[in-house]
Amino acid sequence: MLLSYFVLFNDLEKIEFPRSQHSKLNWRFNSKKSKMTRIFAPLIFLCFSISVSAQFGLNARYVINDADNWLIEQADGSGNINLLDKGYAFGIDYWFRIKDLRIEFLPELNYSTFSNESNRLNINSEVQVYSLLVNTNIYFLDMSGDCTCPTFYQEGPTLKKGLHLQISPGLHYFDGTISTPTAEASSSTITYSIGAGLGFDLGFSKNLTITPIAGIRYFPGLKWEAVTDVFDPNTNIFVSEESSVFQYSAGIRVGLRFGE
């Protein structure tokens, strides 16, 4: 079957387009067609190869943010307001692994949302974050195990086969809005982060895995220009437009395997 894909792509290079009043355009297309075929054929072949046995995952997490420079003290001394505060994150990932070694990769598209409202200070904040995460799971207790899928639906100690460390660098598009009775501002930026966590796979069948996971993520310098646009010196509220951020999260992933 896989050989037939190569034959198909070789045949594509032999196709000739008839000449017409648009012959110049056809010539340009034909001259590029061979290069495009050679570039995309291996990618399509790879997709056919890995799609035979693939696992997709859906996850949801509760997230708490800690941003020191975005804490605002309430006038009555009753506490601080965190502009970034708490929220939820949702993701979808695709799973593949290194053969004969229990290091697994789960590139993920993630969406998270955070909001906070202070009636005493009349401050509202809303944030959406769109992320690309490159998750890497390392099964440090079973690096050379015989597992062929993360469901570990085989005989063996559950803790050894299921416990893993996750390393997760990320690229993020951050979009935040802050409003008060007298002003409102929005700003966006692209930033990066590094995350780590511990997960534990629970294999219910060869096609279903449930994974509780807890983690921490660090943003070394996140810029939110809307903060200083809203809180100028006349408001007597002094905050910086940039802050390091720690995220603490806990959630669950549902893994679904197809093809076997």
Task: Find tokens 């505060």 and name the residue.
Answer: 85
Is the per-residue pLDDT at 21 higher than 70?
A: no
Residue at which a domain ends, from 14, 36, 52: 52
Shared domain check, 251 and 157? yes
User: If pLDDT is split at 50, 70 and 90, which confidence band does 55 have?
Assistant: confident
Do 44 and 73 fall into the same domain?
no
Looking at the fold, whether 100 and 221 belong to one and the same domain comes out as yes
Average pLDDT over residues 43-54: 47
Asked whether residue 133 carries a pLDDT value surpassing 90, the answer given is yes
Task: Show the beta-strand stretches assigned E in the chain.
Answer: 54-66, 71-73, 80-82, 86-97, 103-118, 123-138, 163-179, 184-200, 202-205, 208-223, 242-258
Can you give the residue range of the structural domain that contains 29? Answer: 1-52
Q: What percent of the chain stands above pLDDT 90?
A: 44
Q: How many domains does the chain fold into? A: 2
Kindly state whether residues 95 and 40 are assigned to the same domain. Answer: no
In this structure, the answer to whether residues 34 and 90 fall within a common structural domain is: no
For the domain that residue 171 is a member of, what is the CATH number? 2.40.160.20
Same domain, 132 and 208: yes
Whether residues 163 and 182 share a domain: the answer is: yes
Whether 230 and 151 share a structural domain: yes
